[in-house]
Amino acid sequence: MNIKRVGILTSGGDCQSLNAAMRGVAKSLYNNIEGIEIYGIQEGYKGLIYNNMIKMKESDFSGILTLGGTILGTSRQPFKKMNIPDENGLDKVSAMKENYKKNKLDCLVVLGGNGSHKTANLLSEQGLNVVTLPKTIDNDLWGTDMTFGFQSAVDLATHAIDCIHTTAASHGRIFIVEVMGHKTGWMTLSAGIAGGADVILIPEIPYDINNVIAAVKKRYKQKKKFSIIAVAEGAISKEDSLLSKKELKRKRASSSSPSVSYELAQQLTEATGQEVRITVPGHTQRGGAPDSFDRVLSTRLGAAAARLIMNGDFGKMVAVKGTSIRAVPLSEVAGKLKLVPSDCEIVLQAKEVGICFGD
């Protein structure tokens, strides 16, 4: 296939390596296809819906390897709303297809996470030539061992836990560090282990508050007067895990606690009598420059995506399999979440060194 025009967009939450990954795609295409034109689609799928795209220059992709965020901008366009017309009655899917054809694009490159891949697969099924790259700090995208952005975010979350250690030890306090991750706990698990957390609570392993209290009290009896608890945003107690989605939503709406960390803090204060403090790194985990691991990974994924485009091999996501980069059909990726298995090696090994998961 004679590839001349490629559109590229970044969708969903930002992360540190979006620019590095775009650079990998662009440099590979510029180096291998004479006369290639790359069009930057602004603010994710929103730009494709409303035809907001610009022709990029080769120089636009220089000097962005170390730059966080995304030079194209991004937005969240929920997949469940893609088939719902906008406020002016515009059919979003039809508009994306029309703008793809109007701009004479030969391929659409999507850098995104779970929701973005659902839409990418939909467009692929609608006949568009689509190639995707796996982006998310949560590392929860099905079909790939690793996503770009994950390791950089883990580094920042680990740094937050590292910084808490000294003040926790100085004051003999319990510190709760709330790490990003609503549905999966890959980031909290990695940062918790790397930061030397004593307790790690993740969505996939519902916790018993009595077990968490027991772990903290055990440390105190051992003359270890402080404890570090790494908690994923979506961590859930065993009691709450038995509730239906509606019941859980209703309970959280009526709760005075902003998040699970504050509920935990109150329970630990009452049970142990120790001072409890909460630290929420929040969106700092998405910010700053990508680390060296992500720069290498993003460059490799970008080059692999460009190779798929040059070979006319569409409807695929470039994925990490062990130490290799492979192509995975979008149909196998879309709509699937990669959860932390409660009995996976990393969890079992963390338990071997004495980390409590509250189960």
- Is the Cβ–Cβ distance between 46 and 75 less than 8 Å? yes
Q: Catalytic residue among 14, 138, 140, 198, which?
A: 138
**What Rg do the C-alpha atoms of the chain give, in angstroms?**
22
Q: Name 109's bridge partners.
A: 8, 131
State phi, psi for 55 to the nearest 5 degrees.
Answer: -75, 125
Distance CA 199, CA 305 (A): 39
Q: Is 60 a catalytic residue?
A: no
Q: Which tokens hold the place of 77?
A: 């366009």
Q: Which tokens hold the place of 236?
A: 């859930």
Residues involved in catalysis? 138
